[in-house]
Chains A and B, each alone.
Chain A
Amino acid sequence: MPMSVPELEQLIKGFLPDAEVTIEDLAGDGDHYRARIVSAAFKGKTRLQQHQLVYKALGERMGGQLHALALTTAAPG
């Protein structure tokens, strides 16, 4: 079953507690999201590493329960 916005937000915040998370449901089907995430944990990391952190938060769900997640990540400030 696709993921809800609160569930997705909770997963990300569970892993990155200081994160500012903005989520957009791209297709209205709970399966294609865009997330903008700002977290101090991203400081000094490449985009690749930042995105890998987010995928880690989602674990097995990425590619399974969640089909597509477009990411924009940034460190604060």
Chain B
Amino acid sequence: MTGPITAKIEQQLNADDVVLYMKGTPVFPMCGFSAAVVQVLAQVGVKYQSYNILDDLDLRQGLKDYSNWPTFPQLYVKGELVGGCDIVREMHETGELATFLTEQGVTAAPAA
């Protein structure tokens, strides 16, 4: 299944190592689950690109088909879906997330 939206998603996933598709923005999340992932990523200190799927209905539906995942947020690292809020939170609590990101060579954000 290829089409303009798939091409767009793949372009976005290739442009950045860590991509978060969420409801709202990191500064103004529009859903508790999206807000939770933003918080986890801030705690881990990783740089990421976020896209607000509320702004783009084609992207929103396209992503559900692309990832075979029905909900948001969706966190991708190096083009692979890591999961939604539950998975990201659980991985963070066990320390798996930090380890995984380091293994993937995703460097932490430089100290401000």
Q: Give chain A's interface residues, CB within 8 Å of chain B.
A: 47-48, 51-52, 55, 62-63, 68-72
Contact = CB atoms under 8 A, between A and B. Distances in A.
A48 B87 contact: yes
Contact of A51 (B64, B83, B91): B83
Contacts of B81: 48
B10 interface: no
A14 B70 CA distance: 20
A62 B86 contact: no
Given A51-B83, A51-B86, A68 B33 contact: yes
A52 B86 contact: no
Interface string B82-100: 1111110011000000000
Contact of A63 (B71, B83, B91): B71
A10 B86 CA distance: 22
Contacts of B43: none
B70 A47 contact: no
A51 B70 CA distance: 11
A72 B69 CA distance: 16
Contacts of A63: 64, 70-71
Nearest to A48: B83
B68 A47 contact: no
A7 B71 CA distance: 20
A47 B81 CA distance: 11
